[in-house]
Amino acid sequence: MLRFSFFLIFLFWQCQPSQVPETYRFDPITVSQYPISAPPAFPQSFFPESAKFIQSSEFKTSHIHTKEAFLLLETDEPLADLQKRIDLRASQGDWKLIEKNTKDAEVFYLLEGYIKKSLSISITSHGKTNQMRFYFKKHSTY
């Protein structure tokens, strides 16, 4: 019986989803599962302090210039606090709030930055946790 218990514990431990960071690079595209950090195109001040990065992707036109990027994160921070953070950050001037929509347990933001950059943020409430999706696009070659 003791052996069987150890076997079940081992089997259960092995069946847990792995949250080890995985990164794949395909020339200008980088895709990550459970990344350690967010792509540098995203302003870090939009992120909650308790952010857990789940997925990210980045398309670069050169080694340093990001053309498009995506980030999915999860946080325990309440929805109201996340909205305050984004509204406050948008009022600082370098990202202009273009549109904000609320539908059921989802909030959508569209922001515009200098040199033809756009940032969309989607917040979805899942009970005690919230998921945030960030999408960055640079519309110029400058």
Whether the predicted pLDDT of 67 surpasses 60? yes
Residue 65's pLDDT is 81
Whether the predicted pLDDT of 8 surpasses 80? no
Domain boundaries of the chain, sorted by first residue: 21-138
CA 102 to chain centre: 19
Q: Which of 76, 78, 91, 82 is CA-nearest to residue 47?
A: 82
| C-alpha dihedral (21, 24, 57, 65), degrees to nearest 10 | 120
The CATH label, of 2.60.40, 3.10.450, 3.40.1000, 3.40.50, for the domain at 21-138 is: 3.40.1000
Q: Compute the average pLDDT of residues 84-112.
A: 91
Q: Which residue has the higher pLDDT, 13 or 60?
A: 60
Whether the predicted pLDDT of 2 surpasses 50? no
Of all residues in the chain, the percent with pLDDT exceeding 90 is 45
Residue 20's pLDDT is 86
What is the pTM for the complete model shown?
A: 0.82
Distance between CA atoms of residues 30 and 18, nearest Å: 20
Residues 6+ apart with CB under 8 A from 8: none
pLDDT tens digits, residue range 18-59?
678 888 888 888 999 999 988 888 888 899 988 999 999 999
Q: Which of 77, 66, 23, 20 is CA-nearest to residue 43?
A: 66
Maximum distance among all alpha carbons in the chain? 68
